[in-house]
């Protein structure tokens, strides 16, 4: 599938605790196949807890630089640009595929 880009791809994702579970917020240009797994606000709930080690290994293997920042309340913020955004789309898609989604 060819995904037309209108400008440099950039994606920001935030995994945040929500009660006993996790919620994912996604902002930026999101691939259609990933957007299907998000609600109209760019959110998915509940999702599995993020695995920073798995993310690092995946992105490192693709030589895809990204920024990862733990939040003060135990969440995880992630930002990727350009081809790294595409790699993050793929990782998030796989992560959501293993999570039970509720809309």
Domain ranges of the chain: 10-97
- For residue 60, is pLDDT > 90? yes
**Per-residue pLDDT band at 31 (split at 50, 70, 90):** confident
Residue 98 pLDDT: 85
| Segment among 11-15, 28-32, 35-39, 48-52 with least mean pLDDT | 28-32
Per-residue pLDDT for 18 more than 80? Answer: yes
> Which tokens belong to 35?
């957007």
Q: How far apart are CA 88 and CA 67, in angstroms?
A: 11
Percentage of the chain modeled with pLDDT above 90: 77
pLDDT of amino acid 103: 43
Sign of the C-alpha dihedral computed for residues 97, 99, 102 and 103 taken in this order = negative
Q: Are 17 and 33 in contact (CB under 8 A)?
A: no
Q: The tokens 């796989």 sit on which residue?
A: 94
Rounded mean pLDDT of 64-74?
A: 95
pLDDT at res. 96 = 93
Average pLDDT over residues 55-73: 96
Is the bond leading into 18 cis (omega within 30 degrees of zero)? no
Q: What is the DSSP letter of 41?
A: T
Q: What is the mean pLDDT of residues 31-37?
A: 90
- Distance CA(83)–CA(39), nearest Å, equals 24
């Amino acid at each position: 599938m060819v995904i037309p880009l209108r400008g440099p791809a950039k994606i920001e994702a935030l995994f945040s605790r929500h009660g006993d579970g996790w919620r994912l917020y996604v902002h930026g240009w999101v691939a259609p196949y990933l957007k299907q797994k998000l609600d109209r606000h760019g959110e998915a709930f509940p999702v599995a807890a993020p695995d920073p080690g798995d993310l690092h290994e995946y992105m490192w293997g693709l030589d895809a630089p990204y920024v990862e920042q733990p939040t003060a309340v135990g969440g995880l913020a992630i930002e990727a640009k350009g081809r790294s955004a595409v790699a993050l789309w793929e990782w998030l898609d796989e992560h959501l595929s293993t999570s039970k989604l509720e809309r």
